[in-house]
Structure 1
Amino acid sequence: MSFTWLKRYMPRSLYARAAMILIVPVLALQAIVTVRFITDDLRGVTRQMTLTVSRELRLLADLAEGAGSPQEALDRLAPYLQTLNMGLRFVPPDQVPATDRIPWSDYSARIVRDTLRAELPETLAVSFLDSGRVSFFFRTDLGPAEVFISRRRVTAATPHQLIVVTISFGLLLTGIAYLYLRNQLRPIAKLAKAAEAFGRGRSVPYTPAGATEVRAAGSAFLDMRNRIERHIEQRTLMLSGVSHDLRTPLTRLRLGLSMLDEDDARPLLQDVAEMERLVETFLDFARGAAEGEPEETDPHDLVRQIVADAQRAGKPVEIAELSGSGALPLRPVAIRRAVENLLDNAVRYGSRAELSVALTDRSLRIRVEDDGPGIPPEQRAEAVRPFTRLDTARNQNKGSSVGLGMAIAMDVARAHGGTLRLGESERLGGLRADIVIAR
């Protein structure tokens, strides 16, 4: 039998699951002890006390047998009633309750009633309305009689004492265990926060602590983080060095071509300019999202600046929609580079581009849409890989590309703990590129 459906109702956080592991056994133990106490011990004690009272009542009935009047019966029973600490009186039939008077929550009273009716068939009614006294109504030859005794004669003085003690100690032990377990879970929570921050491009201080297994996991995380940071640094230095070394010969070529005839040098100068643009693209890819530290940024203001700069450069870019409000930690330089790359692709392969921003309590979405040919669904995963050029999907005659624009945008999105999603624009019919970042 599968219990996978239970997963929907299970708590998500580690603290909640640990609390459930502690509380469920304690509640189960308390329920078992309570049921056992009520069904066996409490029932047995109450029944035994009621049987004793029923024998005393039977004795009184035998002593009163043959009395000519109620007063004569009372005179006979007076010494015994005082000894047995009971009271008795004869009542008119209309003062006998039609039904037993027992509170719905009084479990012991129901045991007394059932036991008494089984032992004394003459019982007419039982009343437990008075918290300190119990009244029994019986049928006699002289008319209905009421016997009243102290409730403590038929029920235990503190039947709830064991339950209260069990619950109190259960809560105390649960609290102590939770405090201890919280100290054990705290290092795991710190490790999770450090890993989440690193996934969003931030490196927070972290020191392994806790149990041996948690320390081992923390040390492994630190080693992994250091290796990734060294890899990123080495990649950046390598590409930056190569790009920097290429600038010198390119500069010499430009100077040499400037001395030639303008008509002869123009095609070569265009080639040099294209090579310089490719070098700048390599540098952008090498830098990735490493420029600057995250700072509180209003994405609406950032997008307005990007669109204004693109419009001044003569690009057909417009703002379609800005929704939500607020600021969140971003690397504005890296986000600008990613959005500008998406806009460059949009206007290269389409006649216009639109940019929109949706900011909610859970995520930030920056969307770039164009009216170009788009990218087929089966090629979208490949489109975000570095140095990928989809000649069949995009018109390469409209501009040259080294195939890093989408890769840079994806790199920046991942460095912020988000992703880049490609789809079809419902508004313009071309490509839709979404940078989605969780808050």
Structure 2
Amino acid sequence: MDSAHGDESRPLARQGWRRARERLIRRILPRSLLGRMLLIGFIPLLVTQAISLELFYGNYLQIVSRRLSGNMVTTISMTLDMLERYPSPADRQWILDDMGRRADMVMTWHEGASLQRSGTNHVLGPIDDYLVRDLRDNVPWPSFVDWKRPHRHMVILVQVPGGILQVVALRKRLDVAPVWLFVAWASGSALVLFLIAALFMRNQVRAIRRLARAAELFGLGRDTVPIVPEGAQEIRKAAVAFNRMRDRINRFVEQRTTVLAGVSHDLRTPLTRLRLSLAMFPRKGLVQAADLQPDITDMIGDIAEMERMIEGYLSFARGEGAEVPVVIRVEEMFEEIGTTQRRMGTDMTIGMVMPPDLTITGRSNALRRVLNNVVENARNHASRIELSAERARGQVILYVDDNGCGVEESRRESVFRPFESGKEGGTGLGLAIARDIIHAHGGHISLETGPLGGARVRIVLPE
């Protein structure tokens, strides 16, 4: 049992580790397209420079350092061999002067001195390593290399029987060109190439951003002119395709609006004739046939109901696409709706609007119609209605609260469907029209439990 449980837990552990690693990578990597494109271009460039630095400069530095240190150690070894062969003071001084002059070094003999340290005090890489190794391989006596001398000099001390041989030479005899110079050149060239690539990528990403912004504005109904194709060939094709799609949609909406306007006129005409015929019905006949009066009154009511239903259907199908978006002050819109509703006997109050100068960009008549539809729906089930608004995280949130019986949580989504909210009277299109308009503005509408005890309609719109 334990073994089986362990076998099952291992895949889960690996899956959890994989998800954690993916989250970490997503958190580290840039989110924008420009950042990822720059990263795609920068990493290969950086890797290429690092490889070239290692293969070219690393090998070059090692080869040259070995040869320079080998030459210097060979000179010192030859000098020590000659000093051992000719130990007299006169010969020793002549050997030191002659070898120093020929090798461009200063050689000094310290009679009876002893070496205090061995090895080296250098900390910078292969040059000193090669020198110490060559001294150990070619000189059979202890030695010490002192790099910390002024004026870019170095001192090599060799302990031999009877004293110490001191060799002073310039460090440039072993130094190759400074490593930082090559690194600076490689880094500088990489940075210049990266900046040039960034400029080109930025232009391409700017075209994509303009296309995305145009698509967003078109979805919100705020587009004014077609976008200008720019950037790479594929981005230009996408911009041209977007402009064609935009024109087709606008043409379709315009044709649909024109057809629906004609349908509205054609449907109202026979209803108007029926209404006029009933209104002009002879009064004398009504007196003689008093039992027909209720039927005529019912027919007039049915005609009015049909006109209201037709207007609701046409409004739902027609939408508000032809209206031009403008900047709307939320408080002024609330006051206009409140004034209209109070004239109709509605107990309506205007709650807090934060900030007081809160504005939204949208179709004014369409948004007023949304609020009127929501308020009319609330008035059928409540005696008090309150409007309020606030700004939150770059969005404008409108609230319509009532003190009615509320809406069950299971029905809060279905009441926005066409004909669903009309089961208790009406056409059932008010909330459906409201949701259609809000979605056309790039927003969202939902039902919640309100602070007044009834329902709360929450409308979220982009600022």
What is the 5 A alignment of 1:206-217?
A: 206-217=227-238
Structure 1 counterpart of 2:373: 341
Structure 2 gap segments, 5+ residues each: 1-13
Equivalent position SS for 1:139: strand
Q: Could you tell which deviates more after superposition, 366-375 or 401-410? A: 366-375
1:319 corresponds, among 335, 350, 367, to 350
Are 1:225 and 2:257 matched, yes or no?
A: no
Instruction: Quote the residue 1:435 is aligned against.
Output: 459
Greater shift after overlay, 154-163 or 243-252?
243-252
TM-score by length of 1: 0.81
Distance 1:432 1:146 in 2: 95
Q: Measured at CA, do residues 231 and 382 of structure 1 come closer, stay the same or move farther in structure 2, by a change above 3 Å?
A: farther
**Can you give the 5+ residue segments of structure 1 that lack an aligned partner in the other structure?**
none
Is contact 2:34-2:205 (8 Å) kept? yes
CA distance in 1, matches of 2:92, 2:394: 85
What amino acid maps onto 1:313 in structure 2? M
Residue 315 and residue 138 in structure 1: after superposition, are their counterparts in 2 closer, same or farther (change >3 A)?
farther
Partner-residue secondary structure (3-state), 1:81: helix
Pair 231,76 (structure 1): closer, same or farther in 2 beyond 3 Å:
same
1:262-411 correspondence runs (5 A): 264=294, 269-324=300-355, 326-389=358-421, 391=423, 396=424, 400-411=425-436
- Give the distance between the partners of 1:334 and 1:93, measured in 2 at CA: 103
Superposed CA offset, 1:277-321 (max 9, x none): 434434543452325322233334433433343334332333343
Separation of aligned partners in 1, 2:299 and 2:113: 125
SS for the counterpart of 1:318 is: strand
Task: Indicate if the aligned counterparts of 1:300 and 1:322 stay in contact, CA closer than 8 A.
Answer: yes
Aligned to 1:7: 26
Q: Distance in 2 between matches of 1:385 and 1:230?
A: 27
Q: CA RMSD in A?
A: 3.8
Deviations 1:147-179 (A, max 9, x none): 331122112024344433433333343344444
Query: Is 1:113–1:126's contact at 8 Å kept on the other side of the alignment?
Result: no
SS in 1 for 2:380: helix
Structure-1 separation of matches of 2:132 and 2:375: 86
Q: Specify whether residues 43 and 353 from structure 1 end up closer, same or farther in structure 2 by C-alpha distance, changes over 3 A only.
A: farther
Residues 376 and 238 from structure 1, CA distance in 2 versus in 1: closer, same or farther, beyond 3 angstroms? farther
State the Cα distance separating 1:198 from its structure 2 match.
Answer: 0.9
Q: 1:192 aligns with which of 172, 191, 212?
A: 212
Would the aligned equivalents of 2:417 and 2:432 in 1 still touch at CA under 8 Å? yes
Alignment of 1:43-122 (within 5 A): 43-65=62-84, 76-89=95-108, 100-102=120-122, 106-112=124-130, 114-115=132-133, 118-119=136-137, 122=142
How far apart, in 2, do the equivalents of 1:414 and 1:354 lie? 23
Cα 1:51/1:287, change in 2 over 3 Å? same
CA contact (8 A) 2:403 2:452 kept: yes
> Which residues of 2 match residues 229-248 of structure 1 at below 5 A?
229-248=250-269
The alpha-carbon distance between structure 1 residues 166 and 331, as it changes in their structure 2 partners (threshold 3 A), is same
User: How far 1:109 sits from its partner (Å)?
Assistant: 5.0
Please give the secondary structure, in 1, of the residue aligned with 2:179: coil
Mark the CA change 1:283 to 1:161 in structure 2 (over 3 Å): closer, same or farther: same
Identity of aligned residues (%): 32
- Kindly state the Cα deviation for residue 26 of structure 1 after the two structures are TM-superposed: 0.5
Q: Distance in 1 between matches of 2:73 and 2:461?
A: 79
Match of 1:164 among 161, 164, 184: 184
1:139 aligns with 2:170: no
| Cα distance in 2 between the residues matched to 1:55 and 1:20 | 50
CA distance in 2, matches of 1:127, 1:200: 73
Q: Is the 8 A contact 2:347 2:383 kept in 1?
A: yes
Contact 2:62–2:126 at 8 Å: present in 1 too? yes
- Cα pair 2:115 2:158 within 8 Å, conserved: no
| Aligned twin of 1:414 | 439
Q: TM-score, normalised by structure 2?
A: 0.77
Q: For residues 280 and 317 of structure 1, do their structure 2 counterparts lie closer, same or farther at Cα, with a shift above 3 Å needed?
A: farther
Letter of the structure 2 residue corresponding to residue 353 of structure 1: I
Q: What CA distance in whole angstroms lies between the structure 2 residues aligned with 1:129 and 1:302?
A: 84
Whether the 8 Å CA contact 1:97–1:125 is kept in 2: the answer is no
CA pair 249-42 structure 1, distance change in 2 beyond 3 A = same
1:366 is displaced (CA, Å) by 1.7
Q: CA deviation at 1:19?
A: 1.5
SS at match of 1:126: strand
More deviation, 309-318/107-116? 107-116
Amino acid at match of 2:364: P
2:363 partner amino acid: R
Q: Tell me the residue number matched to 2:170.
A: 150
Partner amino acid for 1:310?
A: Q
Task: Report how far residue 30 of structure 1 moved.
Answer: 0.9
Q: 1:41 aligns with which of 55, 60, 64?
A: 60
> For 1:311-357, what per-residue CA distance to the aligned partner results, in whole angstroms no more than 9, with x for missing partners?
34332333343234554432222221112222222222333333332
1:74/1:374 Cα in 2 relative to 1: closer, same or farther (>3 Å)?
farther
* Aligned AA (2:394): R
The alignment covers a number of residue pairs equal to: 428
**Counterpart Cα distance in 1 of 2:303 and 2:81:** 128
Kept after mapping to 1: 8 A contact 2:402/2:450: no
Distance 1:25 1:237 in 2: 58
User: Does the CA contact (< 8 Å) of 1:289 and 1:334 recur in 2?
Assistant: yes
Output the CA distance in 1 between the equivalents of 2:176 and 2:368.
79
